[in-house]
Structure 1
Amino acid sequence: MDRGSFLNILYIDTFDAMCIPRSELRLTGSLFHGVIPGAQAYPPGQIDLPVTFGSQANFRSKVLTFEVVDFPGSYHAILGRPCYAKFMAIPNYTYLKLKMQGPNDVITVSSAFSHAFACDREHYELTTVVVNSSKLRRLRESSAPAVLDFNKPTSSTAFRPLEETKAVGINPTDPTKMVRIGTQLLTK
C-alpha cells in the first residue's frame, strides 16, 4: 500500500510469474520518478488486470491499470491511490489494514507486522544497493550542484511581468494585502 503513489506498480518478476506474455503490455513511452532512488524509471509498459479483495461470500473485483517495472523489488505489486479510489478503500498504515465496503459487509485485508518488517528490510537493502551503485555515483559526480543566488534574477525576464500591472487590494481591512493584475489582459 502506498498512499502517495499516483501509480499501481507491478514488478516484472511477478508479471513473468503470472505467465502473461510480454506482448500483452501496452507501451507508454512515459517515465516516472521516485521508484528508483535518484533515477528515472522507464516502464516496459502497462497492463490492465482484474484485482479481487475479500472472500467467496463477500468480495469486490475491479480492473486496475498497472505500470510494469523492470527492476527488482521486495514486493509483488504496489497499490497506489488509483486503486484506493476505484475500490473506495481506506488504508490504515498503523494497523496494516485496508478496508472497503463489500456487498455483504466490510472487507478487511490485513498483514502481519513481521511480514511488513521483512519487506521493508528487503526494500531498504535493495535501495541501498541502488543508491550506492557505481552508475549512480558517477552520475552524481558528473553533475555539478546548482548554486542559486536568490537576490539576483537568473535572466533579464526572470520573475518580471511581461506587461504593465496594477496593484489591487484584496482585503479592505488590511491595505498591505495586494494582488497584481495585468493591465493588458483581454476583456473576453
Structure 2
Amino acid sequence: MPYVDVDLNDHPDNTAGVSILPVVVTPTICNLGVERELVDGGAGLNLLSPKVFHKMQIGERKLLPSMPFYGVTVWKMIPLGQVELPGTFGERVNFRTENVVFSMAYFDLPYNAILGHSTLAKFMAAVHYAYITLKILGPSRVISVKADVKWLGHCAERLYEAMEAISPDDGERLEPSAPPPPPPARQRIIPDDATLTKAIRLRDDPEKTVMIGAQLSEK
C-alpha cells in the first residue's frame, strides 16, 4: 500500500517564498479545471465563487440553503447556497474523485475556490507548505500535486494589496509610535443664577454682607 511522503523530487527550484506563498492548485471540479484554488487546512468550509459555478452550467436550482459565516473576510458573508460537486485530483491513469460540499459566495479574494480541512480529510491529503505540494493517496500510487507556480505570485500580491486597503476605522488610526491624543479639557459649569445675585450690607452690622437675588429689593 502506498504511503504519503516527500523527497528531494518534491523540492522546489526556488525556496525564496516558501514561507509566504499560498498553496494554490488547479483541480477538476465537475469536469471543469478550476485555477487559483487555495488549499487552506485551517478553513472550516469550502468556498466556490459564483463565476466558476455559472461556468459549470449546473443551475441555481441545485443550491441548498446555507447559514452566514465569518472569518473569510473582515465582514459577515451570506452565501447564495450550498452545492455538492465532484472534485478530482491526479491524471487519467491515477486519479481520485470525492464529492465536496461548497458554499457559493462572493468573496474579495484572488481565488476561485477554497478547500478547507474537511476536504483534505476526505481525500486523505497532506499539505507540505515548505515544498508547496499536496500529497494524496491514489488507487495505484501517491498523487503529487504541485502548486500552480504561475498563480502563486499573483495571489500573494493581491492579498497584500487587499490587506493594506483594509482599515477598521476608515484609515483614521494612529501609528504605533504616535502618542494618544490628550483628553478634552474639563469645562467649569457655572449655574445661571450665579450671575443673578448681589451683595447687600446688613443694617445691624454694616461690615457684614449677604447675597440676595439681583431682582430683589435691598429692603
TM-score bracket for this pair, using the shorter chain length: 0.5 to 0.7
Which position in structure 1 is the counterpart of 2:121? 85
Which position in structure 2 is the counterpart of 1:33? 70
Instruction: State the percentage of identical aligned residues.
Output: 35
Separation of aligned partners in 1, 2:116 and 2:124: 12
Q: Could you tell me which of 46, 50, 59 is aligned with 1:8?
A: 46
Matches within 5 A, 1:22-171: 22-28=60-66, 30-37=67-74, 39-113=75-149, 115-129=151-165, 131-132=166-167, 137=169
Separation of aligned partners in 2, 1:77 and 1:112: 14
Kindly indicate whether the alpha-carbon contact (under 8 Å) linking 1:31 and 1:43 is maintained by their aligned counterparts in 2.
yes
Instruction: Please give the secondary structure, in 1, of the residue aligned with 2:108.
Output: coil
Separation of aligned partners in 2, 1:23 and 1:126: 33
| Alpha-carbon offset, residue 17 of structure 1 | 2.4
Separation of aligned partners in 2, 1:65 and 1:82: 9
Which position in structure 1 is the counterpart of 2:55? 17
Unaligned runs of 5+ in 2: 1-38, 174-219
Counterpart amino acid of 2:49? Y
Instruction: Please give the secondary structure, in 2, of the residue aligned with 1:66.
Output: strand
Separation of aligned partners in 1, 2:89 and 2:142: 11
Separation of aligned partners in 2, 1:20 and 1:41: 23
Instruction: Please give the secondary structure, in 2, of the residue aligned with 1:104.
Output: coil
Kindly indicate whether the alpha-carbon contact (under 8 Å) linking 1:11 and 1:76 is maintained by their aligned counterparts in 2.
yes
| Alpha-carbon offset, residue 113 of structure 1 | 4.4
| Alpha-carbon offset, residue 44 of structure 1 | 1.1
Separation of aligned partners in 2, 1:26 and 1:112: 31
Structure 1 or 2, whichever has the larger Rg, is 2
Separation of aligned partners in 2, 1:110 and 1:46: 28
| Alpha-carbon offset, residue 76 of structure 1 | 1.2
Separation of aligned partners in 2, 1:18 and 1:137: 39
**Aligned residues, how many?**
134
Give CA-to-partner distance per residue, 1:19-41, whole Å, 9 cap, x none: 2322221111x12111112x111
Unaligned runs of 5+ in 1: 142-188
Instruction: Please give the secondary structure, in 2, of the residue aligned with 1:67.
Output: strand
Question: Which one has a larger percent helix, Structure 1 or Structure 2?
Answer: 1
| Alpha-carbon offset, residue 137 of structure 1 | 3.8
Runs of 4+ residues deviating >3 angstroms:
126-129
| Alpha-carbon offset, residue 51 of structure 1 | 0.3
Kindly indicate whether the alpha-carbon contact (under 8 Å) linking 1:96 and 1:112 is maintained by their aligned counterparts in 2.
no
Separation of aligned partners in 1, 2:85 and 2:150: 28
Counterpart amino acid of 1:71? F
Looking at both structures, which has the greater relative contact order when contacts are Cα pairs under 8 Å and sequence separation is at least 6?
Answer: 2
